[in-house]
């Protein structure tokens, strides 16, 4: 088992300097951000965009950029990073190349919990959303973990149980969506995963949560590296395996849960980003985690930008686009890891 799964974490790219790659990614992300702020139904020239962002513009685009575009782009950054880091943690801890927040049921659980909160108690503060969503994700993940546990966790069993649990939770979401038809249009977009109409309020509710969790993940990077060597080696090197694993999973749930809470399931980002990052910079978590975060950001930003420019003024939800890319990528992964 270990012999076959480990191939997923060997990187055969010869790494010259991972930090350089990280900075290149960062530059691309910033460039894309600037372009993305200007793109959409109303186009803003690049230079005007930059000036407006720093408050030195002509004032013509102030409102649209500062109240519409910037919050959603900011959201794309943290949500993309949230999904990607969550996926990296899960794949690292479970040592399953196909694990992701979707597969192990976190997003469905978090989605259901936040749907209940949003539709059932709309008057409740948005600040509560990450906690409720985290709770939902936690319940789903715990359920999957317990049901899949049978003398250890096998990747295939985990995937199957995750699919089943997700199906049940998703039917719950379906039920809510069909019983509260007032906000159906919005619900559909939200279910497909979208950054449409996100505001600074939601950003402020989520951002600290994601930053804290991300820092926590970075602090665990060394332990995660050791864990990747296998349980016995990790114990031999003085890491308490089970507590570490549970803590890492809890953080993964928190990150994915918070992201789902504000923009629904942006599919496959949590699956794709870690693999891409691993191919870029290798498997050491102190560099892998930030790289994955950036890759996730890039994926979500690109999807969101594309969704806005394909046929304005109609928007295609970012989740639709990431799924269209992610489905084939997932199948490619199935081929690459055909050992099991």
Partner 1 sequence: MTNATNSMDNRRAYRRLHYLRAFVISGVVLIIGLLLSTTIGAVEGVDAKVFFLSLFQYDGSVEHLIMRTLRMPRAALGALVGANLAIAGLLMQGISRNPLASPGIFGVNAGASLFVALAFTSIYGAPMVSSITIPFFGPLGIVPVAFLGAAFGGILVYFLGGVASGRVNPVRLVLAGVAVSTLLASLMKGTIILQDENTDSLVYWLAGAVDGSDWNDVRTILPWTMVGLGITAYLAISLNLLALGEDVAVGLGRNIHVIRTIGGLGIICVAGSAVAVAGPITFVGLIVPHICRRLIGVDHRVLLVLAPVLGAAMMVYSDILARFIAFPFESPVGIVTALVGGPYFLYLTQRARIDR
Residues 132-151 binding partner 1 (CB under 8 A) are: 147, 150
Q: Does 154 bind partner 1 (CB under 8 A)?
A: yes
Which residues 290-309 are close enough to bind partner 1 by CB under 8 A? none
Site string for partner 1, 192-221 (x = CB under 8 A): x-----------------------------
336 contributes a contact to partner 1 by CB under 8 A: no
Which of 189, 261, 289, 292 lies at the binding interface for partner 1 (CB under 8 A)? 189
Phi, psi (rounded to 5 degrees) for 206: -95, -40
- Which of the stretches 66-74, 233-241, 253-261, 332-340 binds partner 1 when contact is defined by CB under 8 A? 332-340
Q: Please identify which residue in 70, 135, 163, 309 interacts with partner 1, judged by CB under 8 A.
A: 163
56: contact with partner 1 by CB under 8 A:
no
Nearer to partner 1, 127 or 171 (CB): 171
Between 288 and 321, whose beta carbon lies closer to partner 1?
Answer: 321
Q: Are 7 and 339 in contact (CB under 8 A)?
A: yes
What Å distances lie between residue 133 and 70, 81, 109, CA to CA? 24, 17, 8
Q: Rule CB under 8 A: say whether 171 interacts with partner 1.
A: yes
* 135 burial via Cβ count (<10 Å: 0-12, 13-18, 19+): middle
Other Cβ atoms within 10 Å of 185 Cβ, number: 9
Do the beta carbons of residue 140 and residue 165 sit within 8 Å? yes
DSSP string, 273-324: HHHHHHHHH-S-HHHHHHHHHHHHHHHHHHHHHHHHHSBTTB---HHHHHHH
Sequence length of the chain is 340
Q: Could you tell me how far CA 69 lies from the centroid of its own chain?
A: 20
Rule CB under 8 A: say whether 312 interacts with partner 1. Answer: no
Contact (CB, 8 A) for 137 and 107: yes
Part of the chain binding partner 1 (CB under 8 A), chosen from 24-32, 86-94, 181-189, 214-222: 181-189
Residue number with CB closer to partner 1 (99 or 206): 99
Nearest to 29 by CA among 63, 66, 74: 74
Residue 268 interacts with partner 1 (CB under 8 A)? yes
Q: Which of 19, 23, 47, 175 binds partner 1 (CB under 8 A)?
A: 175
Distance CA 14, CA 21 (A): 12
Q: Which residues of 90-124 are buried (b: 16+ CB within 10 A; e: fewer)?
A: bbbbbbbbbbbbbbbbbbbbbbbbbbebbbeeeee
Coil, helix or strand at residue 153: strand
Of 132, 177, 293, 301, the residue at the interface with partner 1 (CB under 8 A) is 177
Is 317 a binding residue for partner 1 by CB under 8 A? The answer is: yes
Cβ distance to partner 1 smaller for residue 34 or 164: 164
Q: Which is nearer to partner 1, 157 or 286 (CB)?
A: 157
Q: What are phi and psi of 185, to 5 degrees?
A: -55, -45
Among 168, 221, 241, 247, the residue binding partner 1 under the rule CB under 8 A is 168
Residues near partner 1 (CB under 8 A) are: 98, 147, 150, 154, 156-157, 159-161, 163-165, 167-168, 170-172, 174-175, 177-179, 181, 184-185, 187-189, 191-192, 267-268, 311, 314-317, 319-321, 323-324, 326-328, 330-331, 334, 338, 340
């Amino acid at each position: 088992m270990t012999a076959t799964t480990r191939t997923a974490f060997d990187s055969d790219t010869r790494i010259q300097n991972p930090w350089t790659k990280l900075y290149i990614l960062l530059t691309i992300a910033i460039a894309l951000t600037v372009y993305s702020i200007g793109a959409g139904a109303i186009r803003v020239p690049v230079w005007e965009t930059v000036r407006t962002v720093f408050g030195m513009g002509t004032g013509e685009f102030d409102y649209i950029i500062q109240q519409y575009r910037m919050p959603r782009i900011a959201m794309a950054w943290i949500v993309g990073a949230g999904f990607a880091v969550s996926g990296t943690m899960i794949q690292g801890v479970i040592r399953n190349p196909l694990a992701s927040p979707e597969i192990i049921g976190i997003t469905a659980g978090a989605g259901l919990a936040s749907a209940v909160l949003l539709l059932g108690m709309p008057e409740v503060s948005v600040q509560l959303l990450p906690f409720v969503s985290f709770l939902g994700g936690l319940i789903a993940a715990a359920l999957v973990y317990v049901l899949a546990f049978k003398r250890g966790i096998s990747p295939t069993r985990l995937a199957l149980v995750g699919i089943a649990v997700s199906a049940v939770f998703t039917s719950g979401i379906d039920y809510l969506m069909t019983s509260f038809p007032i906000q159906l249009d919005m619900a559909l977009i939200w279910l497909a995963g979208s950054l449409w109409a996100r505001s600074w309020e939601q950003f402020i509710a989520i951002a600290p949560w994601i930053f804290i969790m991300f820092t926590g993940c970075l602090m665990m990077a060394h332990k995660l590296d050791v864990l990747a060597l296998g349980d016995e080696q990790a114990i031999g090197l003085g890491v308490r395996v089970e507590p570490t694993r549970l803590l890492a999973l809890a953080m993964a749930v928190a990150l994915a849960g918070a992201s789902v809470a504000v923009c629904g399931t942006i599919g496959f980002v949590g699956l794709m980003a870690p693999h891409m990052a691993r191919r870029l910079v290798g498997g050491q978590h102190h560099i892998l985690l930030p790289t994955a975060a950036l890759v996730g950001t890039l994926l979500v930003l690109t999807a969101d930008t594309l969704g806005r420019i394909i046929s304005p003024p109609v928007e295609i939800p970012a989740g639709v686009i990431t799924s269209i890319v992610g489905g084939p990528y997932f199948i490619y992964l199935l081929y690459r890891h055909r050992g099991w």
